Amino acid sequence: MYTDIVIDHFQNPRNVGEITDPDGVGEAGNPVCGDMIKITIKVEDGRLADVKFKTFGCGAAVASGSIGTEMVKGRSVEEAMALTNSRVAEELGGLPPEKLHCSNLAADGIHGAIQDYFSRQGK
């Protein structure tokens, strides 16, 4: 049902936690199941120097948070903004159709954190 990539990121999630004194915070809720994600970011020289996530979500949400944060870590804020829900699911090698909505949390939370960063910068 799940790919080896999903299982790996669920069992050994990367970037779990919360950055103290973050430059941006994003929270996203999943309208399908009511689960949540919180993303915190640290920005240096226009790049995401650090990204962390916490989720009250299912295993697919944990795997999506893990791989989604890996995909944007070290990238420019513009590149990170371009991350899509479908790219997260693709990078996981796909998700079962009934779990596809779980992959939305990661990109939505990352976008929210960057928007918060922009608004703190007065942009």
Residue ranges in contact with ligand FES by CB under 6 A: 30, 33, 35, 57-58, 60-61, 102, 105
Between 23 and 26, CB nearer to ligand FES: 26
β-pair partners for 55? 37
**Integer distance in angstroms from the first to the last C-alpha of the chain?**
43
Q: Please state the closest distance from residue 104 (CB atom) to ligand FES, in A.
A: 8
How far apart, in whole angstroms, are the C-alpha atoms of residue 61 and residue 98?
13
Q: Please state the closest distance from residue 21 (CB atom) to ligand FES, in A.
A: 28
58 is an active site residue = no
Question: Position 1: which residue type?
Answer: M
- Catalytic residue, chosen from 5, 33, 36, 49, is 33
33 is an active site residue = yes
Q: Please state the closest distance from residue 105 (CB atom) to ligand FES, in A.
A: 6
Between 31 and 122, CB nearer to ligand FES: 31
Helix (H) or strand (E) holding 27: strand 24-29
- Catalytic residue, chosen from 43, 67, 92, 102, is 102
Using the structure block, give the residue that is written with the tokens 């809720």.
29
Between 10 and 117, CB nearer to ligand FES: 10
Q: Name the CA radius of gyration of the chain, rounded.
A: 13
Q: Residue 96 has what DSSP assignment?
A: -
- Residues labelled catalytic: 33, 102
